[in-house]
Each structure stands twice: as C-alpha cells, then as structure tokens.
Amino acid sequence: MPNHKITMAKHLQRELEKLKKKILSVGSMVEDRVQRAIRAIELQDAELAGEIIRSDFEIDEAEVEVEEECLKLLALYQPVAVDLRFITATMKINNDLERVGDEAVNIAERVMVLSEKKRVRVPFSYHDMAEKTDFMMRKSLDSFVNLDLDLAFQVIIMDDAVDEMNHRIYDMVKDAIRQHPDSVGYLLNLLLISRHLERIADHATNIAEEVIYLIEGEIVRHGMSDVLK
Amino acid sequence: MPNHKITMAKHLQRELEKLKKKILSVGSMVEDRVQRAIRAIELQDAELAGEIIRSDFEIDEAEVEVEEECLKLLALYQPVAVDLRFITATMKINNDLERVGDEAVNIAERVMVLSEKKRVRVPFSYHDMAEKTDFMMRKSLDSFVNLDLDLAFQVIIMDDAVDEMNHRIYDMVKDAIRQHPDSVGYLLNLLLISRHLERIADHATNIAEEVIYLIEGEIVRHGMSDVLK
C-alpha cells in the first residue's frame, strides 16, 4: 500500500472512532429524555414535561451534526466494506434516535394535557412497560457499542412483550372509558402515552436490526421476530 | 480525466438512473397501498384490507433491494457531491416509503377490526384528510422525480392542515365516545385510523425535506414549517 493510503486509512479509523463517540452521546441524550418522560408520566409532572419539550432542539441539532459528519466521511474517505456499513448504520441509528426524542416530546405533551384535567383512577400503571422500553433502548445502544449480536437479538425478542403490554393497556383504557365516559379526554391521553412508549420500543428494535446488519452484513429486517420464535 | 474515469462516471450515471426508476417503482407500489387503504376505510371493506396486509411483503422486499443497491453503488463508485447526496437521499426516502407501507397495513388492520364490530354513525368522514394525505404522498414523489423545490415546500406546508384535521377528528371521536360509551372499541379504531393517516402525511413531509436537502445541499429539518409561516 502506498504511504498516503496508509495515512488515509489511519485517519479514517480515527474519524470513525470520533463518529462513534458522537452518536453515542446522542444516544445518551435521547436515553435521558426517555427516562425523564417516564418520570414525568409517573409523577404527572408538567414542569418536567415542559423541560423535555424545551430541550428537544438539542437532539435535533445533534442529529443534523452526526448526519453531516457521516456525509463528510463518505465523501472524503470513500470507505468500503465494513467502514461503509458502519457509516450507513450510524446514519440510520441517528435517525431512529432523533425520532425517539420526538416520542419523548409527544409523551411530555400528553403529560401536560393530563395535568390540566381531572384525574381518573385507572387499574394499571405504565411501570412495567416503561421499564422494558427503557431497557430495550439501553440494550440496543449497548449492542451497537460492543457489536454484541446476542444482545441485539434479545432486544428484538423483547419487542413482542412491549406490543403485548400496549394491547393490554388499550383494553384497560377501553374499559375505563366505558365506566367514565365523561373523562374520555383524560383517558385517551393515557392511551396515546402507551402508543408512544410502544413506538420507542419499535425504534430500539430498528437499532438492534441495524446492529445485526452491521455485524453480519445482511439486511435482516421484516418479520425478524417471527424467525426467532 | 483518464479514460477509465470517464467510463466509470458514465456507468455511475446510468446506475443512478436505474436506481431512480427503482425507488419510483417502490413509490408507486406504496401509493397504490395508500389509495387502497383509503378505499378500504370508505367502503369498510375487510377483503380489500386483507389484500393490503397480505401484499406488504412485496414492499418490504423492494425496500431491501433498493437499500442493497444503494450500498453497492456507494462501495463500487465512491461517489461524491450531488451523486453521493442522491444516493443517501434515496436511502432515506426508501425508508420512509417502507414505513408508509406499514401505515397502510395498520389502517387495513383497523378496518378489519371495524368490520367485525357494530357500526356507529359518526358525524365526520376521512374523505378530506385522506385526499390531502394521498395528495401529499404523490406530490412528495413528484418533487423528487422533477427535483422541484417549490413543490417540496408546498408539501411541507400542507402537513399543518393534515395535523389540524387529525385534531378535529380526535375531538369528534371524543364526543362520539361520550355519547356512545358502549361503542368505545369501534370508536377508538376510528381514532387510530386518523393517526395513521397523519403519520403518512408526516412521511410525505420527510420525503419533501429530503428533496430540498438534495437540491440545496443543506439539511433543512426541524421546525421547517415554522420558518415558512
């Protein structure tokens, strides 16, 4: 290999390390928002919800920065094989992370609305669903950091459980509405929170699928969890 | 330019043309699903809904094919500048299209559920919202084909109107549930259909934003529609 090629290759590796740090810091920001959103639900804390909404621009900015960095590396180093896959995987994971941030904002908005309405006691809590969703988010990022195939598969399998929890909450909200039709506005907000959590779990699943693709070099989307059953 | 470089450049242009045709054919497939989903809502046609669900794998397969093609072109030709942007834009648009296909499936599933329940007369129709959403999808793809900046901006502006329609339907479903608490299951499905349509409009907006980025070379996401007001 001529000398300048070796130098370029070294530069690229250094840039990829930096990129990885950057996307992981976006991941931490997003994870923090998810955890705060969950706390805002549990405490029905409108102030905390407001903070989440106001700070979303930080995630948006970080997302654009990571994407621009990816495009720069593609153009400058023209990477191939695993380096190329790493960059395109980063672009997709970045996109999912930003959308998770949006879902945290959606949850925060629901909490704001709830805090203004008369509270209705419902026979369920989001605790288990929120915990599992948060866990999936963290593990999907861990699987990316450590290129851990097993962990990525575990995340994908967990998604079914979250879907199931979402269906159960849906049924319980339906019953609650039947009993308290006047509080339908309040109760519909509970339903939407459950759906937003479920979407966060979907994004964690997307991230895990990207990680598997990155490791195995094969696109394994669509019906993945069916294969695993 | 040495001869082999000119040949490579010509090859790449030909490959990019092919890629464009491929992503547009995915676009047509997805558009077709959206239109059928809308028809299934209007006619509450469970059979049509079943067809949409059963044929989703075609879109999934087409998506994977386009993505693999993009990765191949990136690795093989190491494109820069506008060619690179075209490929990464195609990857993102491809992703949005596949998710629109998923939303069409979600709508079809709701229609299936609705068809098994006792019908409730509601004082609204999806007609305007569905028409606008379908229009946005078509125009976002047109803006991509023709690299039409004005049209892309128009799509983005339209998104607010669809959001507004979604809110109105939400309020009307809420009132209907108050009046018919026993039909809450039926009515919640109507609510979900409205949200799925709204998400399709969101994806059309994402596509339009990608087109603007492709043309202008600047990432113009987040709060775009605020700037335009």
- Output the six-digit token pair for B88: 């990464």
pLDDT at A187: 94
Residue B216: which pLDDT band, with cuts at 50, 70 and 90?
confident
* End-to-end CA gap in chain A: 47
Looking at residue A142, what DSSP letter applies? H
Residue B222 has pLDDT above 90, yes or no: no
> By CA distance, what is A195's nearest residue in B?
B192
Q: Are A149 and A213 in contact (CB under 8 A)?
A: no
Contact yes or no for B170 and A188 at CB 8 A: yes
Average pLDDT over residues B87-115: 95
Distance CA B83, CA B77 (A): 10
pLDDT at A4: 77
3-state secondary structure of A148: coil
pLDDT at B30: 97
Residue B225: which pLDDT band, with cuts at 50, 70 and 90?
very low
> By CA distance, what is B206's nearest residue in A?
A95
Is the sign of the CA dihedral B176, B181, B182, B186 positive or negative? Answer: positive
- Please name which of B40, B175, B58 lies closest in space to residue B111, comparing C-alpha atoms: B40
Selected residue of A109, A170, A184 to mutate for chain B interface (largest B Cβ count, 10 A): A184
pLDDT at B228: 45
- Please name which of A113, A126, A103 lies closest in space to residue A41, comparing C-alpha atoms: A126
Q: What is the pLDDT of residues B68-92, one digit of tens each?
A: 999 899 988 988 888 999 999 999 9
Average pLDDT over residues B105-119: 93
- Burial of residue A89, with CB atoms counted within 10 A of its CB: 0-12 exposed, 13-18 middle, 19 or more buried: buried
Residue owning tokens 């923090």: A32
Tell me the residue type at B56.
D
Q: Are A196 and A107 in contact (CB under 8 A)?
A: yes
Residue B58 has pLDDT above 50, yes or no: yes
pLDDT at A107: 97
Q: What is the H or E stretch that residue B74 is in?
A: helix B56-77
- Output the six-digit token pair for A110: 């629901």
pLDDT at B122: 87
pLDDT at B217: 78
Distance CA B6, CA B13 (A): 11
Alpha-carbon gap: B88 to the closest alpha carbon of chain A (Å): 8
Residue B219 has pLDDT above 80, yes or no: no
pLDDT at A218: 61
Phi-psi region at B223: left, alpha or beta (left = phi > 0; alpha = psi -120 to 50) = left
Topology (CATH level 3) of domain B3-228? Methane Monooxygenase Hydroxylase; Chain G, domain 1 (1.20.58)
Q: Which residues, in sequence order, are CB contacts of B194 under 8 Å at separation 6+?
A: B126, B129, B165, B166, B169, B170, B173
Total count of residues recorded for chain A: 229
Contact yes or no for A219 and B68 at CB 8 A: yes
Tell me the residue type at B142.
D
pLDDT at A5: 78
Phi-psi region at A223: left, alpha or beta (left = phi > 0; alpha = psi -120 to 50) = left
Q: What is the pLDDT of residues B21-34, one digit of tens each?
A: 999 999 999 999 99
User: Does the structure's ipTM exceed the value 0.85?
Assistant: no
- Please name which of A192, A95, A217, A202 lies closest in space to residue B96, comparing C-alpha atoms: A95
pLDDT at B132: 96
Residue B227: which pLDDT band, with cuts at 50, 70 and 90?
very low
In the 3-class helix/strand/coil scheme, how is B212-228 assigned residue by residue?
A: HHHHHCCCCCCCHHHHH
Count of CB pairs separated by less than 8 Å, A with B = 72
Contact yes or no for B78 and A78 at CB 8 A: yes
Residue B221: which pLDDT band, with cuts at 50, 70 and 90?
low
pLDDT at A121: 87
| Whether the predicted model's global pTM rises above the 0.95 cut | no
Which residues from B are below 8 Å from A174, CB to CB?
A: 184-185, 188
Interface of A with B in 98-157 (CB under 8 A): none
Give per-10-residue mean pLDDT for chain A (229 aa): 79 95 96 95 95 96 93 89 91 94 96 91 90 96 94 95 94 92 92 94 95 80 48
Average pLDDT over residues B119-138: 92
- Please name which of A51, A189, A50, A194 lies closest in space to residue A114, comparing C-alpha atoms: A189
Average pLDDT over residues B195-216: 93
pLDDT at B82: 87
Q: Which residues, in sequence order, are CB contacts of A154 under 8 Å at separation 6+?
A: A139
